[in-house]
Amino acid sequence: MKHHLTVTVNGEQWEGEVELHLTLVRLLREEMGLVGTKAGCEIGECGACTVLLSGEPVQSCLVLAVEAEGATIETVEGLATGGKLHPLQEAFMEKGAVQCGFCTPGMLLASKALLTRHPDPGVEEIKAALSGHLCRCTGYESIIAAVQLAAARMK
C-alpha cells in the first residue's frame, strides 16, 4: 500500500507515492538522491542519519517517511547557501573535525539545531547535543572546538 507524501526538503517541495514502511533515511537517499544523509546502524544508535525535521534533530532511520507529511526537512545538502559553506561546515574543516566524514552530516545538523536554541553553548551543552553521535576518528575534541568556533562566528 502506498501513501501520497508532500514534504519540503532543503527549501524544495517534494511529492510522491511512498510505501508505508519506508523510513525517512531511505526516502532521502533512494527516492530523492540526497546521499549526504548516511545510513549507518539503522537502529538509532550512531546518529549518522540525523536530519532536521521541522527544525528538530531526528534520527531519520527511526522515522517513517509518512510521519514527515507536510514537514520541512533539512539535510546536510541544505546547509550551504549560494555556494557558500555554512559557518559550521567551515569550522569543521578548519578544526580538523572532518576525518572519514561518515558521522559529519549528522554532527553538523545536530550542532546547527543546538546553535539555533543556544547561540553560545558551553562544552557540556555541546557534549549533550552530540551525545547520540558516534565518531571513530576524531576523539570529539576537534568537533567540540569546531562548534565553539562556529558559535563565535555566528554571533
Residue-wise pLDDT for 100-148, tens only, equals: 999 999 999 999 999 999 999 999 999 999 999 999 898 899 999 999 9
Q: Model's pTM, two decimal places?
A: 0.96
- Domain co-membership, 120 together with 61: no
Asked which of 78, 112, 146 is the last residue of a domain, the reply is 78
- Domain co-membership, 104 together with 36: no
Query: 57-71 in b/e burial notation, b at 16+ Cβ within 10 A?
Result: bbbbbebbbbebeeb
- Domain co-membership, 94 together with 72: no
Instruction: Tally the residues of the chain.
Output: 155
CATH number, residue 126: 1.10.150.120
- Domain co-membership, 13 together with 73: yes
- Domain co-membership, 97 together with 69: no
Number of domains the chain contains: 2
Asked which of 78, 102, 130 is the last residue of a domain, the reply is 78
Least confident of 15-19, 26-30, 63-67, 100-104: 100-104
Confidence band of 56 (pLDDT split at 50, 70, 90): very high
- Domain co-membership, 73 together with 91: no
Average pLDDT over residues 146-151: 98
pLDDT at 138: 86
Q: Say if strands 50-53 and 72-74 run parallel, antiparallel, or are unpaired.
A: antiparallel
- Domain co-membership, 53 together with 10: yes
Hey, what long-range contacts does 36-41 have (CB within 8 A, 24 or more apart)?
Answer: 36/75, 36/76, 36/77, 36/105, 37/75, 37/76, 37/105, 37/106, 38/102, 38/103, 38/105, 38/106, 40/102, 40/103, 40/134
Q: Domain limits at 143?
A: 87-154
pLDDT at 50: 98
